[in-house]
Amino acid sequence: MGKMPHLSWFFQAWILIAIHTDFTLADRSTYIVHMDKSAMPKAFAIHHDWYLATINSLKVAGTNSDTLKSMPRLLYTYDNAIHGFSAVLSFEELLNLQNSPGFVTAYPDKIVKLHTTHTPEFLSLNTISGVWPASDYGKDVIIGMMDSGVWPESKSFNDDGMTEVPIKWKGICQAGGDFNSSMCNRKLIGARSYQSGALAANLNGERYRDSPRDANGHGTHTSSTAAGNYVEGVSFFGYAEGTARGIAPRARVAMYSVSGSVGAGSDLLAGMDQAIEDGVDVISVSMGAGRIPLYENPIAIAGFAAMEKGVFVSTLAGNDGPYPMSVENGVPWLLTVGASTIDRQNSAILTLGNGMSTFGWSEFPVNALLENVPVIYNETLLACDSAELLSAEATGKIVICSDYSGYLASQIHETVLYSNVAGAIFISNSTKYMEVKDLPCPAMVITPVQSPGLINYVTSTTNPTVTMKFQLEVLGSKPAPAVSCYSSRGPSSSYPSIMKPDLIAPGSKVLAAWIPISPSAFLGSNVVLSSSYTLKSGTSMACPHASGVAALLKGANPDWSPAAIRSAMMTTASHIGNDYSPIQDNGKSLRYATPLDMGSGQIDPNKALDPGLIYDADSQDYVNHLCFMNFTKKQILTITRSSKYDCSTAADLNYPSFMAFFNNTSLTVHKFHRTVTNVGQKSSSYKVNLKVPRGTSITVMPDTLSFTRRYQKVSFNVSVDIKQMNTLKSYGSLVWKEVGGNHTVRSPIVVYRMV
């Protein structure tokens, strides 16, 4: 990973600045300034100090006061994307700046407009080209949601603009409790409830008795993420304001309520069984059965039946990251989705009494302004682990807290809530705050890189004050995506011979529909806030993104098999972030993510529409691999439900990734046999491009694939030799690059040795 930028206390390289008109001074503008770093005078130890001195030298003679409005103001310094800084300057100061040593160029900053469910834009979905118009936005594709239920009154399930329900639909809208059949429509075309297993097991999950109504919000959130209709003017208490819509906004939703906060596998099996019968095209399962064998996993078993019928099944990877071998649903015939971050940063702005300012993370759900409030920095208070001590020392003040001890990682606001402080500034490197935490008190989080300027100001100033303004946002933060810290990692302990997760999709701070009876946020220790839309994080949120993409691909390519759709998603996924460097891992100190963290990479819907080549497979192919993995006849029968399958042809699976798993044997060579199908141009050829895992040698035969017609199949062999490998894990990739064309078919390679 490249060197982290030095940004003093101002900001981080992962933020692409968004200028808010509240902070643009009269007759001043914000400029991005490029500097020649090699021209930095030797008197300065770091470039930030040089930039700050440059700005301070620009004070125009004749100003009538030393106030914020009459001074140039440094906002951020940069050292990766550019060498330079951004600053609020008058035109005369800009002219003077051009005479400064090392000046290269300057230009005005741009205002960035925000969207709500921003993930469609982040995934490059648009109305002009790509998979949205090609699929007519998922029109008539039916997504069966296995979840906690649905809140039919949500505007995300209105049927404005929807055509009549497809004739193929065989489902019903089940009445029960306060849910009646008239609550379904042309968007929410079906709803059923399955609770018998949970009742028999005495499971205490939030459920409406015998009703598909959502009691905890999870199902409403996931289903609106996958296929919610357009809803204007929504937000999470002012954050993420805009128009909400799902990934496949013209697809249909059928809800199968199979759990509360917990559920029974039997109920899930019943729901999936019925969904197949009802005629769904895609099944979305934001649930996990734990790391259990395939032949005991209800999702795996029901998923095999769905796959046989041509139904695509998307599942979550689990939220047990960043620990290895924690992935759930590591099933060869299902898509397993990990979670990633997006480029929207919910923020507050912190302005010191000396006029310096910075952004930090916050989701305090009030459009508040704490203006010129006394701030205290006391080393005995830094842990913020005693409400009594905070009240005694910092009543009515803003307190600075640090989580160097790790305490705040799990107790970010408890002591602040129960003290008499006015607010808090948390200093933390943990990405968990931005990914999974909330802030029910006036507080914000800045990084240790940002903190020295704050601390220097507070400790060197008599009666220091700060101003904090909430409900601000920055769009375009970098790097994004990153693998979410909580996203479960591979390999799968239940099926390690196939690389899992398959890919990642947006899962952190996803805004989608919510239910009015479940809290959306908290204000203080005892005020519960409700909202029709809320921000949630988890691989539960990533899964419906992939489900929506699958619906779009199914709508554009009705004849594609589930394996073909999964292959298209995987081989076109991006392993590069918006900063043009490899995707980073929030769970591993921002090191570059490996395929065991992110699979093939971030899902790219538009590229998946035209993958060039696909790795296809049918039910017999999966059985052949079960035989290859020495599953017994009984175990296979448990999964397949049919004796028509046999083990006469044990074989490797035609999967779009390569997992060379050496399980404590004397073998040093792993061989793969793969077949690709041409879904691109009639006549084309592809040349192999290898990134060989460190310590291994790889042979691909042949190294060129030639096609003379569409849907033609061509096979190749891959041999991985680990005789020289001295590590337990190593990573690479195999890419088929179209000769004279635009298709790039990328597959990750993982070499994994058990000891």
Residues 259-288 have pLDDT tens digits of: 887 788 888 888 999 999 999 999 999 988
Residue whose C-alpha is closest to residue 659's, from 546, 593, 753, 565: 753
Contact 234, 158 (CB under 8 A): no
pLDDT above 60 for 26 = no
pLDDT at 204: 65
Q: Which residue has the tokens 């682990």?
A: 385
Q: Does the annotation mark 575 as catalytic? A: no
| Domain limits, CATH 3.50.30.30, in the chain | 345-475
Class of domain 119-342+484-608: alpha beta
Ranking 40-44, 282-286, 601-605, 704-708 by mean pLDDT, the lowest is 40-44
pLDDT top residue among 233 and 188:
188
pLDDT above 80 for 16 = no
Which residue in 47, 115, 218, 545 is the catalytic one? 218
Contact 550, 335 (CB under 8 A): yes
Q: CB under 8 Å to 632, separation ≥6 — which residues?
A: none
pLDDT top residue among 664 and 501:
501
Q: What is the mean pLDDT of residues 344-357?
A: 89
pLDDT at 77: 64
Pull the structure tokens for residue 465.
């004050």
Distance CA 568, CA 155 (A): 32
Phi and psi torsions of 698, nearest 5°: -130, 135
Q: What is the mean pLDDT of residues 392-406?
A: 81
Q: CB under 8 Å to 513, separation ≥6 — which residues?
A: 151, 154, 155, 156, 157, 220, 221, 223, 224, 228, 231, 244, 532, 533
Alpha helices by DSSP H, listed for 612-675, are 619-628, 633-640
State the chain's mean pLDDT as an integer.
86
Distances (CA, A) of 674 to 64, 268, 562, 689: 76, 34, 17, 16
Q: Does the annotation mark 540 as catalytic? A: yes
pLDDT at 544: 97
pLDDT above 60 for 647 = yes
pLDDT above 60 for 594 = yes
pLDDT at 113: 24
Where does the pLDDT of residue 510 fall: very low under 50, low under 70, confident under 90, or very high at 90 and above? very high
Distance CA 12, CA 6 (A): 8
Q: What is the mean pLDDT of residues 73-87?
A: 61
Which residue in 147, 343, 502, 621 is the catalytic one? 147
Residue whose C-alpha is closest to residue 228's, from 325, 120, 304, 135: 120
Q: CB under 8 Å to 83, separation ≥6 — which residues?
A: 34, 35, 36, 37, 47
pLDDT above 90 for 22 = no
Where does the pLDDT of residue 76 fall: very low under 50, low under 70, confident under 90, or very high at 90 and above? low
Pull the structure tokens for residue 671.
């061989």
Fold of 345-475: Glucose Oxidase; domain 1 (3.50.30)
Residue whose C-alpha is closest to residue 655's, from 750, 747, 551: 747
- Residues 453, 344, 357: CA angle, nearest 5 degrees: 20
Q: What is the mean pLDDT of residues 544-556?
A: 98
pLDDT at 472: 81
| Domain limits, CATH 2.60.40.2310, in the chain | 613-617+653-754
Contact 106, 31 (CB under 8 A): yes
pLDDT at 42: 84
| Domain limits, CATH 3.40.50.200, in the chain | 119-342+484-608
Where does the pLDDT of residue 93 fall: very low under 50, low under 70, confident under 90, or very high at 90 and above? confident
pLDDT above 80 for 108 = no
Ranking 75-84, 436-445, 546-555 by mean pLDDT, the lowest is 75-84
pLDDT top residue among 55 and 581:
581
Distance CA 390, CA 658 (A): 55
Q: How many CB atoms lie within 10 A of CB 29?
A: 15
Contact 299, 525 (CB under 8 A): no
Distances (CA, A) of 605 to 148, 277, 312, 556, 730: 27, 28, 16, 12, 28
Distances (CA, A) of 113 to 476, 536, 616, 685: 11, 22, 41, 43
Q: Does the annotation mark 545 as catalytic? A: no
pLDDT above 60 for 741 = yes
CATH 2.60.40.2310 is the classification of domain 613-617+653-754? yes
**From the centroid of its chain, how far is CA 724?**
36
Q: Give Dmax (Cα) for the chain.
A: 92
Q: Which residue has the tokens 């696909």?
A: 614
Contact 483, 586 (CB under 8 A): yes
Q: What is the mean pLDDT of residues 185-196?
A: 94
Residue whose C-alpha is closest to residue 375's, from 424, 427, 440, 439: 424
Which residue in 540, 684, 733, 747 is the catalytic one? 540
pLDDT above 90 for 541 = yes
DSSP 8-state symbol, 69: G
DSSP 8-state symbol, 343: S
Contact 440, 521 (CB under 8 A): yes
Q: What is the mean pLDDT of residues 600-621?
A: 97
Q: Residue 389: how many CA atoms within 13 Å on its side-chain side?
A: 13
Q: What is the mean pLDDT of residues 49-77?
A: 67
**From the centroid of its chain, how far is CA 383?**
31
pLDDT at 437: 76
Where does the pLDDT of residue 60 fall: very low under 50, low under 70, confident under 90, or very high at 90 and above? low
Distance CA 637, CA 216 (A): 36
Q: CB under 8 Å to 414, separation ≥6 — which residues?
A: 387
Q: From its phi and psi, is residue 317 left (phi > 0), alpha (psi between -120 and 50) or beta?
A: alpha
Task: Tell me the torsion sign for CA atoms 140, 141, 142, 146.
Answer: negative
pLDDT above 60 for 7 = no
pLDDT at 83: 63
Phi and psi torsions of 52, nearest 5°: -65, -40
pLDDT above 80 for 231 = yes
DSSP 8-state symbol, 574: B
Contact 68, 355 (CB under 8 A): yes
Q: CB under 8 Å to 493, separation ≥6 — which residues?
A: 291, 325, 330
pLDDT above 70 for 75 = no
Pull the structure tokens for residue 501.
């997760």
pLDDT above 80 for 493 = yes
Where does the pLDDT of residue 69 fall: very low under 50, low under 70, confident under 90, or very high at 90 and above? low
Using DSSP, how many helices (H) and how many strands (E) does the chain show? Answer: 18, 36
pTM equals: 0.84
Q: How many CB atoms lie within 10 A of CB 367?
A: 11
Residue whose C-alpha is closest to residue 419's, from 390, 439, 399: 390
pLDDT top residue among 233 and 207:
233
Q: How many CB atoms lie within 10 A of CB 651?
A: 13
pLDDT at 23: 29
Contact 388, 501 (CB under 8 A): no
